[in-house]
Structure 1
């Protein structure tokens, strides 16, 4: 019986994801979980992220056409808000893609955890609701496979050093 219930979980999750692919995050819905290496956990909905200082990046990307305007919270401000220390962040996407990002990337100007692209919320289909974006056009050092891999979209969780 238990195996049967577990076997249905992926089907249920896949169905929920497909149903929400074209939709944007709803008010009060958790969009980001930040867990600390000390066992702490903080949940953010869009309003909680918007309450943090807003940063904007105007840049082209290898995934989009033309200059895009991304708004969100700088990775530095987010790490400061959750009292992270120096080390390595593990960023996890909706599809379980994960990538390690050194906290040294969290500079000003630097990457933004974007919740708006061109003034609009991003749906899962459009790489949302959260996407870590680097200012590619402002710093040629960011135009490498290493930084492209760190530009995780459909971000749902950050595991931070504490």
Structure 2
């Protein structure tokens, strides 16, 4: 009898562990600000008003269509008004983006490229994309350096 109870407890712990692991894998973006951490899975990101940017990039051929959440919507949602964003990729590469870049009709956190979800192999699942063709200010080395792909976390620092 004790063996059976022990076996059930071990099995339950294993299943709970799998559930936790699966939930962690579902998180696409983790945002930390003011001592609080917020996670976003695909559904949470898609709950925002999604924006579409059609633009050329220095990394792709021809015009591309990107769809995602505006950086402004994310900073508004967490209440960040000043400072900088430390945007970090899956491989721990980090870039600094001033919150002043998070404007209407500005950069988005793209989740789709030409209507398809992006894989890690294709710069996904998240890529910060500016509307490069919208104005010359978006076609500079500084802006290109902020266009981080394989994004998985953002920390807001003052």
Q: Which bin holds the TM-score, normalised by the shorter protein?
A: 0.7 to 0.9
C-alpha deviations, 1:20-74, integer Å up to 9, x for none?
xxxxxx9x700100011x2100000010000011111000000001100000000
SS of structure 1 residue aligned to 2:35: coil
* Runs of 4+ displaced beyond 2 Å: none
Return the alpha-carbon distance in structure 2 between the equivalents of residues 140 and 59 of structure 1.
13
Aligned equivalent of 2:30, options 33, 37, 43: 33
Residue number in structure 1 paired with 2:19:
none
Return the alpha-carbon distance in structure 1 between the equivalents of residues 142 and 122 of structure 2.
22
SS of structure 1 residue aligned to 2:145: helix
Return the alpha-carbon distance in structure 2 between the equivalents of residues 84 and 43 of structure 1.
16
The answer for unaligned runs of 5 or more in structure 1 is 1-25
Higher relative contact order (CA 8 A, sep 6+): 1
Contact kept in structure 2, 1:85 and 1:161, CA below 8 Å: no
Question: How many aligned positions are there?
Answer: 135
Larger CA Rg, structure 1 vs 2: 2
**How many angstroms does 1:85 deviate by?**
2.2
Contact kept in structure 2, 1:84 and 1:161, CA below 8 Å: no
TM-score normalized by structure 2? 0.82
1:134 paired with 2:137, answer: no
SS of structure 2 residue aligned to 1:157: strand
Residue number in structure 2 paired with 1:159:
155
Higher fraction of helix: 2
1:99 paired with 2:87, answer: no
TM-score normalized by structure 1? 0.80
The answer for unaligned runs of 5 or more in structure 2 is 1-22
C-alpha deviations, 1:97-134, integer Å up to 9, x for none?
10110000011110000001100000000000000000
Aligned equivalent of 2:67, options 52, 66, 71: 71
Superposition pairs for residues 1-162 of structure 1, below 5 Å? Answer: 29-36=26-33, 38-161=34-157
